[in-house]
Amino acid sequence: MDLEFSGELWFWRGPAPFHFVTVPDEQCGALEAASAAVTYGWGMIPVAARIGGTGWRTSLFPKDGRYIVPVKASVRKAEELEVGEVVAVRLTLDV
């Protein structure tokens, strides 16, 4: 399954601070349906992600009935991304 969407890059200041993009509601239903076949626990869904010319492997986190995409520092640096920017994200379920 391939998904493409745009979302705002945001920062979470928890005990392990990180940057994320939230998957829109429209795509979350498809991910929820596929999650039973691909999750490795806690609802995490392994994916190959891409923003611009930079790709990486990660896992989607379930949060508040939706999913969020963690965006590594190396991706933010390579694509010159700042918090609040709207970015185009491509995901492929990593099965």
pLDDT at 24: 95
Residues of the chain predicted below pLDDT 70:
39, 41, 95
Structural contact between residues 19 and 83, judged by C-beta atoms closer than 8 angstroms: yes
- Residue 71 is classified by DSSP as E
**pTM here?**
0.88
What domains, with CATH codes, occur in the chain?
A: 2-93 (2.40.30.100)
The amino acid that residue 16 corresponds to is A
H/E stretch holding 55: strand 54-63
pLDDT at 34: 79
Residue holding tokens 């918090």?
Answer: 83
pLDDT at 35: 78
Tokens for 2?
């391939």
pLDDT at 17: 76
Measure the CA–CA gap between 88 and 95, rounded to whole angstroms: 22
pLDDT at 95: 58
